[in-house]
């Protein structure tokens, strides 16, 4: 079969059809680094997307965030949730908006994709502290690592090919043979276009690859995605990449015991949040 690789231009064209929430998340990350920004600036940014605003209010009214009277407005929700929680809350809402449809190319439902993203992000965030890594970068990498799958599914609409979990060479090899690009390569192109930090983009691009020169964040993402898979929230074709070796823990900068403690913490949060993010 002759394969015509997906061009950057075609990929970025289909990205224009995706919800704006992840791009707003990228802008929010930069805004939070500015010591002169305040809650009013954040509120103004988030209000650019009415659907995102509605999801943030909905999630902020879940039991994990609110045990009192419901928040009626974005201003009220953000003021009560707190400045440091805004990025995490917006990330939850962004992934709920982004992963809202079945990916026919991959045989993955929206709920399956959302829950994988949520659990992987929570594991990354919890483990980043033990590994002395940036928690926001770790969280973002876990949350958005499958963005390329969403774009590639849209590019493949109308085709009859669907990934079969029994494909012996794994998902990346199948994607290359069918689309001329892997989903992690596509994710990296998209997140770079959306101006996410370079370390986040690199971690997503390389987390299938077991290279000793990869960054600590890359290895942590590999371990976190594997842990999500073993907890029953993996995605088809990826489990061949997730062997949790001593070398990966060393490269990520934490011990298996530290990672297991982070996993327990993340799993508890996930159980509380999964219905709110649905």
Domain of residue 85, residue span: 16-98
Backbone angles phi, psi at 108, to 5 degrees: -120, 130
Give per-residue pLDDT as tens, 134-146.
Answer: 999 999 999 999 9
Residue from 27, 142, 36, 34 nearest 90 by CA: 27
Percent helix, strand, coil in the chain, to 5, is 65, 0, 35
Residue 262 in any domain: the answer is yes
User: How many angstroms separate the CA atoms of 182 and 198, rounded?
Assistant: 19
Give per-residue pLDDT as tens, 229-275.
Answer: 999 999 999 999 999 999 999 999 999 999 999 999 999 999 988 87
End residue of a domain, out of 65, 98, 131: 98
Contacts of 110 (CB under 8 A, 6+ apart): 99, 100, 101, 102
Backbone angles phi, psi at 103, to 5 degrees: -100, 100
Q: Which ranges of 101-182 does DSSP label H, i.e. alpha helix?
A: 110-130, 135-144, 147-155, 170-179
Predicted pLDDT of residue 278: 67
Residue 130 in any domain: the answer is yes
Q: What is the pTM of this model?
A: 0.92
Residue 277 in any domain: the answer is yes
The enclosing domain of 126 has a CATH number of 1.10.3210.10
Give per-residue pLDDT as tens, 33-88.
Answer: 988 888 889 999 999 999 999 888 888 888 778 777 788 889 888 887 877 788 98
Cβ-contact 204, 141 below 8 angstroms = yes
State yes or no: pLDDT of 157 exceeds 90: no
End residue of a domain, out of 31, 63, 98: 98
Residue from 239, 84, 98 nearest 172 by CA: 239
Cβ-contact 268, 278 below 8 angstroms = no
End residue of a domain, out of 73, 98, 123: 98
Residue from 6, 263, 275, 264 nearest 142 by CA: 263
As a dihedral over the C-alpha atoms of residue 102, residue 61, residue 23, residue 122, rounded to 10 degrees, the angle is -70
């Amino acid at each position: 079969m002759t394969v015509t690789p997906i061009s950057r231009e075609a990929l970025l064209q289909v990205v224009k059809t995706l919800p704006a929430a992840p791009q707003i998340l990228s802008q929010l990350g930069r805004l939070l680094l500015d010591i002169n920004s305040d809650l009013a600036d954040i509120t103004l940014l988030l209000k650019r997307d009415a659907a995102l605003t509605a999801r943030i209010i909905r999630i902020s009214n879940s039991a994990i965030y609110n045990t009192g009277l419901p928040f009626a407005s974005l201003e009220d929700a953000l003021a009560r949730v707190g400045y440091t929680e805004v990025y995490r809350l917006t990330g939850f809402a962004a992934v709920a908006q982004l992963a809202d449809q079945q990916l026919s190319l991959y045989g993955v439902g929206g709920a399956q994709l959302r829950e994988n993203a949520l659990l992987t992000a929570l594991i990354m965030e919890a483990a980043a502290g033990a590994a002395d890594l940036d928690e926001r970068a770790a969280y973002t990498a876990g949350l958005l690592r499958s963005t390329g799958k969403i774009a590639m599914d849209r590019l493949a609409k109308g085709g009859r090919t669907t990934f079969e979990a029994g494909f012996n060479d794994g998902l990346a090899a199948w994607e290359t043979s069918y689309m001329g690009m892997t989903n992690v390569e596509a994710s990296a192109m998209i997140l770079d276009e959306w101006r996410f930090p370079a370390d986040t983009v690199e971690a997503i691009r390389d987390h299938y690859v077991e290279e000793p020169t990869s960054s600590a964040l890359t290895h942590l993402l590999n371990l976190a995605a594997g842990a999500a898979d073993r907890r029953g929230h993996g995605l088809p074709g990826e489990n061949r990449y997730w062997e949790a070796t001593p070398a990966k823990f060393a490269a990520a900068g934490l011990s298996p015991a530290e990672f297991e403690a982070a996993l327990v913490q993340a799993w508890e949060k996930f159980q509380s949040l999964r219905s709110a993010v649905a």
